[in-house]
Chains A and B, each alone.
Chain A
Amino acid sequence: MADATPDWIDIGGIDDIPARGARTVRTGGKPVAVFRTADDEIFALIDRCPHRGGPLSEGIVSGKSVACPLHNWVIDLDGGQARAPDVGCAPAIAVKLVDRRIFLAADAFAEAPGPTAAERGQTA
Chain B
Amino acid sequence: MDMHSPRRERLIVIGNGMAGMRTVAELLERAPARFDITVFGAEPHPNYNRILLSAVLAGEKSLDEIVINPRSWYEENGIDLIAGDPVVSLDAAAGVVRSAGGRALAYDRLLLATGSKPLAPPIPGLDLPGVCAFRDIADVETMIAAAQHGRRAVVIGGGLLGLEAAWGLKRRGMSVAVVHLMPTLMERQLDVAAAQLLQRDLDKRGIAFFTNGQTEEILGGERAEGVRLADGREVPADLVVLAIGIRPNIDLARKAGIDVNRGILVGDDLRTSDRRIFAVGECVEHNGQVFGLVAPLWEQARICAARLAGDDGAAYATPPLFTKLKITGVDVFSAGALAAADNADDEITFHDAKRGVYKKLVLRGDRLVGAVLYGDTADGSWYVQLMREGADIAALRDRLVFGQTAAGGDATVPAGIDIAAMAEDAQVCGCNGVSKGRICRTILDRNLTTLEDVRAHTKASASCGQCTGTVEAILVHIVGAEAAAATGREPALCPCTEHGHDAVRRAIGEQKLKSMAAVRAALGWKAADGCHKCRPALNYYLLCAWPGEYGDDPRSRFVNERVHANIQKDGTYSVVPRMWGGLTTPAELRAIADAAEKHRIPTVKVTGGQRIDLLGVRKEQLPAVWADLNRAGLVSGHAYAKGLRTVKTCVGSEWCRFGTQDSTGLGVRIEKMCWGSWTPHKVKLAVSGCPRNCAEATIKDLGVICVEAGYDIVVGGNGGVEVRVTDHLVRVASEADVLEHVGAFLQLYREEARYLERTAPWIARVGIDYVRQRIVADAPQRRALHRRFLHSQEFVQVDPWAERAERGVEAHEFAALGRAG
Contacts and interface: CB of A to CB of B under 8 A. Distances in A.
Contact of B820 (A26, A53, A74): A26
Contacts of B555: 18-21, 60-61
A59 B820 contact: no
B138 to A, nearest CB: 13
A29 interface: yes
B221 interface: no
B817 interface: yes
A27 B64 contact: no
A40 interface: no
Given A23-B812, A55-B571, A62-B532, A85 B62 contact: yes
B101 interface: no
Closest 5 pairs between A and B when the two form their complex, measured CB to CB: A109-B821, A67-B532, A23-B817, A27-B821, A11-B818
19 contacts: A11-B817, A11-B818, A11-B820, A19-B555, A21-B555, A23-B816, A25-B818, A26-B816, A31-B816, A32-B820, A58-B562, A59-B559, A60-B536, A62-B527, A62-B532, A63-B528, A104-B820, A123-B44, A124-B71
B4 interface: no
Contacts of B44: 123
Interface string B535-568: 1100000000000000000111111101100010
Interface string A26-40: 111101101001100
A5 interface: no
B536 to A, nearest CB: 8
B64 A85 contact: yes
A25 B820 CA distance: 7
A8 B303 CA distance: 68
Contacts of B531: 62-63, 67
Given A20-B555, A63-B531, 11 more contacts: A11-B819, A18-B554, A18-B555, A19-B555, A23-B817, A26-B819, A29-B821, A37-B529, A58-B563, A61-B555, A69-B567
A84 B65 CA distance: 10
Contacts of A9: 820-821
Given A9-B820, A20-B529, A25-B817, A58 B559 contact: yes
Contact of B816 (A20, A25, A52, A109): A25
Contacts of A20: 529, 555
B63 interface: yes
A9 B820 CA distance: 7
B765 interface: no
B558 A60 contact: yes
A97 interface: no
- How many A residues touch the partner, as a band? 35 or more
A29 B820 CA distance: 10
Nearest to B567: A69
B577 interface: no
B581 interface: no
B310 interface: no
B173 interface: no
User: B554, B567, B571 — which one has the most chain A CB atoms within 10 A of its CB?
Assistant: B571
Contacts of A19: 555
Contact of B532 (A12, A29, A59): A59
B569 interface: yes
A37 B527 CA distance: 13
Contacts of B46: 124
Contacts of B569: 52, 70
A72 B532 contact: yes
B245 interface: no
A106 interface: yes
Contacts of B812: 16-18, 23
B530 interface: yes
A23 B818 CA distance: 9
A79 interface: no
B70 interface: yes
Contacts of B71: 124
Interface string A73-94: 0100000000011000000000
A21 B557 CA distance: 11
A124 B45 CA distance: 9
A70 B571 CA distance: 9
